[in-house]
Structure 1
Amino acid sequence: MMEPNGDDTMLTESHEALAREVLIHGPIGRSALGPRLGLSPASLTRLAKPLLERGLFIELDEASTGSVGRPVRPLDINPDLGDFIGLKITGDSVYAVLTNTRAVIVDERELPLLSTEPSAVIELLTTLIRDIATLAPAPLAGVGVSLGGAVDDNGRVLRAPFLGWSNVDLAAPLTEACGVEVTVENDVVALVEAERWFGAGRGRSGFSVITIGAGVGYGLVIGGESVHTREAGVGLGGHIPLDPTGPLCPEGHRGCSSALLTSVGMCAQVQGALGRPVDYDEVLTLATNADPVAVAVVDAAARGLGRLIALAANLTMQPTVVLAGDGIGLWGIADDRIRIAAAADRDPLAQPLEILVDDIGFGAWARGAAAVAIQASIARLTGAVTFP
């Protein structure tokens, strides 16, 4: 972050709320900010003053609104505040992105994970962070790491089955090694935060998030805030029954979301019928080219995803659903079938479904990690005398 200019005004949660609104919705005029935060013009001016003086905010050139009165000078986040790195750990690789303050991806790369020993993973992440930091146009302001598993508030990985980890401290050694604050979060939680602040859900007060890929993830935003629970890393979306006649998942559940929707489940069905290995992209290509086995698998997945979308909307009473993840290619070839299946499980009097798609693919996971680092950077303003 930029160095403060000497103003020692104590920053509060109100300053954090203002910074968050400008970050998410800026450039934005004071007349729009006031009602969003429930602030009078005088209070808004008072809160914005130290953030302008310290360089967190900038005022853009005056613009006329077409109404009588002085032209407005919208507030925005200073683009020179810093850059962020997001890293997503899988069972066999680490995917990294460099982003600006609004989680726009500037650069990206992927490295194989040759060992899942915590010390080896920390060494690889440290090297990757240092290498990517040299590409950052602005100073590095924070790093986020996401992975499938349960993570506590201190960045300790309580459980990550795909890595064989239990009670591994990840944030502290990375922060010490890299000299920059590192935030560790469950991958679905991080992706939901990215969608809420910067992605498809931006500006919406409530929506569900469904991720498909190697697994099936689920998140929820209500009243503009993410629903946080210690069960976020348990994978509660992974075994919802969707088709009583469907295939079995490895845990013996027939027609559950993991059996129908994961890349692993879909590939297993196709390669079992063809008698040879196939990857997810080939399954989609075969289905596009009318291969009967792949078409049947994709049709079943489309119906299952449609049913899962309807379930999410019906049970949460949030008609907006965001789809994301590295398996989002399914939507690209079967969106019509997904929409039909989702509509079939909705009451005719219910509000129409709004299905939003984040088509970044695998990069969405790493961008999610960067997003929680950005959030942590803004949160550190609360009660602070100076910026970090």
Structure 2
Amino acid sequence: MSTDTESALARTVLIHGPISRAALAVRMGMSPASLTRLTKPFLDRGLFVELDEVAEGVGRPSRPLDVSDAMGPFLGVKLTGGEAYAALTDVHARVLGEAVVPLPDHRPQSVVQAIVDVSALLADQAQAPTGIGISLGGITDGDQVAWAPFLEWEGVPLGALVAQAAGVPTRVANDLVALAEAERWFGVGRGLDGFAVITIGAGVGYGLVAGGEVVRTPDAGVGLGGHIPLDPHGPLCQEGHRGCSQAMLTSGSIVAQAQTVLQRPVSYDEVLDLAAAGDPAAAAIVDASARALGRFIALAANLTLYSDVVLGGEGMRLFAVAEQVVRDAVKQGRDARASEVRLHVDDSGFPAWARGAAAVAIQDAFDRLP
């Protein structure tokens, strides 16, 4: 196994590459000679590649280092209650292919087979994955799923089951943790000391990066962001909380409110379309949800003392329809002297979740470097 310093070197080149040796030496806090000694084995094994020369100031040109695309590909799978969304990525989490397969039921063997099937489907478009990452809502230790409410699971060794069936190393992560890791390593969080992640869709998610690391505690997978009070006059959630984040921001709650007012079945996108077109009933519901999202964002920034917030999830079209309402609510929830909240929006939906799962597989591969 690699030493801690070698592992840190590999991760630094992956996250910050392409990177010059001079910049890498500064980040690693080591001399040029020590850096040359450490990078040589990675170059010899083909894990690192040298790119074309670039000029750096008045000194001699340098050849930046990057991680080779030969390491990979990786499969990321996001599990919901009904589907397995998958993305095949390279080592830099760039998506090479996407697919989705239905889950016939929630039996572990059925879910494992769905993951194997979607892996084979994407392998037909490229090469077979060298590692698999799986994300889901709930609590997991990387292998064992202790609790997954959408799948109605407790104590399922999903990682081991998939690794045995697929024949490749497999890691399982909470979906918010995986998404935050993808943003930290490959997304808007690169180089940031800390930021919050808020997702909306079928549920409400909240994650946090602090001190350059994703916060991982036993409570990270419980879904504590789901019942934060946001509107004292809002609807009730299923657990009886009035105006909490679940009641105000989930697609199911927004649809239920619209159907009650409009007296007919509607979809989430239809509610947003009606609001955008100026329908007063739909606009009132969407604006109330947008204000609640703005309050949530302001709370996250106030309580973490970080002013960067990543927004994602399959329900994030709400932000596109009512962006100004969200931003006004954020401003109202902040002290005038506080830093401006910087919003980073990922509206790609389920592909972002799957890419987050792939990031978990990539991290696992770097932890296992020989």
**TM-score when normalising by structure 2:** 0.97
Query: 1:280 offset after TM fit, Å?
Result: 1.3
Q: CA RMSD in A?
A: 1.2
Letter paired with 2:136: L
Which of 93, 108, 111 aligns to 1:103? It is: 93
Please give the alpha-carbon distance, in whole angstroms, between the structure 2 residues aligned to 1:229 and 1:279: 36
State the match for 2:324 in structure 1: 336
Please give the alpha-carbon distance, in whole angstroms, between the structure 2 residues aligned to 1:27 and 1:359: 27
State the match for 1:216 in structure 2: 204
Query: 1:58 offset after TM fit, Å?
Result: 0.5
State the match for 2:138 in structure 1: 149
Query: 1:114 offset after TM fit, Å?
Result: 1.6
Give the conservation status (yes or no) of the 8 Å contact 1:89–1:95. yes
Q: Does 1:90 align with 2:80?
A: yes
State the match for 2:228 in structure 1: 240
State the match for 2:22 in structure 1: 31
Q: What SS does the corresponding residue of 1:166 show, helix, strand or coil? A: coil
State the match for 1:370 in structure 2: 358
Q: Does 1:15 align with 2:3?
A: no
Give the conservation status (yes or no) of the 8 Å contact 2:106–2:151. yes
Q: Does 1:170 align with 2:161?
A: no
- Structure 1 residue ranges (4+ consecutive) displaced by more than 6 angstroms after TM superposition: none
Q: What SS does the corresponding residue of 1:249 show, helix, strand or coil? A: coil
Give the conservation status (yes or no) of the 8 Å contact 1:199–1:358. no
Give the conservation status (yes or no) of the 8 Å contact 2:259–2:266. yes
Please give the alpha-carbon distance, in whole angstroms, between the structure 2 residues aligned to 1:368 and 1:60: 27
Please give the alpha-carbon distance, in whole angstroms, between the structure 2 residues aligned to 1:18 and 1:205: 19
Q: Does 1:126 align with 2:107?
A: no
Please give the alpha-carbon distance, in whole angstroms, between the structure 1 residues aligned to 2:100 and 2:261: 32
Q: What SS does the corresponding residue of 1:220 show, helix, strand or coil? A: strand
Give the conservation status (yes or no) of the 8 Å contact 2:316–2:347. yes
Please give the alpha-carbon distance, in whole angstroms, between the structure 2 residues aligned to 1:97 and 1:156: 22
Q: Which moves more between the two structures, 254-263 or 139-148?
A: 139-148
**5+ unaligned residues in a row in structure 2: which ranges?**
none
Letter paired with 1:239: H
Q: Does 1:186 align with 2:174?
A: yes
Give the conservation status (yes or no) of the 8 Å contact 1:200–1:357. no
Give the conservation status (yes or no) of the 8 Å contact 2:78–2:350. no
**TM-score when normalising by structure 1:** 0.93
**5+ unaligned residues in a row in structure 1: which ranges?**
1-9
Structure 1 residues 85-113: Cα deviation after superposition (integer angstroms, max 9, x where no partner): 11111111111111111111111111111
Q: What SS does the corresponding residue of 2:318 show, helix, strand or coil? A: helix
Q: Does 1:316 align with 2:293?
A: no
Give the conservation status (yes or no) of the 8 Å contact 1:241–1:257. yes
Please give the alpha-carbon distance, in whole angstroms, between the structure 1 residues aligned to 2:269 and 2:230: 23
Query: 1:322 offset after TM fit, Å?
Result: 0.7
Please give the alpha-carbon distance, in whole angstroms, between the structure 1 residues aligned to 2:300 and 2:26: 31
Query: 1:33 offset after TM fit, Å?
Result: 1.0
Give the conservation status (yes or no) of the 8 Å contact 1:83–1:99. yes
Which of 67, 72, 76 aligns to 2:62? It is: 72
Give the conservation status (yes or no) of the 8 Å contact 2:208–2:214. yes
Matched residue count? 370
Please give the alpha-carbon distance, in whole angstroms, between the structure 1 residues aligned to 2:15 and 2:88: 18
Query: 1:231 offset after TM fit, Å?
Result: 1.0
State the match for 1:283 in structure 2: 271
Please give the alpha-carbon distance, in whole angstroms, between the structure 2 residues aligned to 1:297 and 1:40: 59
Which of 253, 271, 290 aligns to 1:265? It is: 253
Structure 1 residues 227-277: Cα deviation after superposition (integer angstroms, max 9, x where no partner): 111111110000000000111111110000000111111111101111222
Identity of aligned residues (%): 57
Structure 1 residues 136-189: Cα deviation after superposition (integer angstroms, max 9, x where no partner): 25x522111111111113x11101122111101101111111111111111111
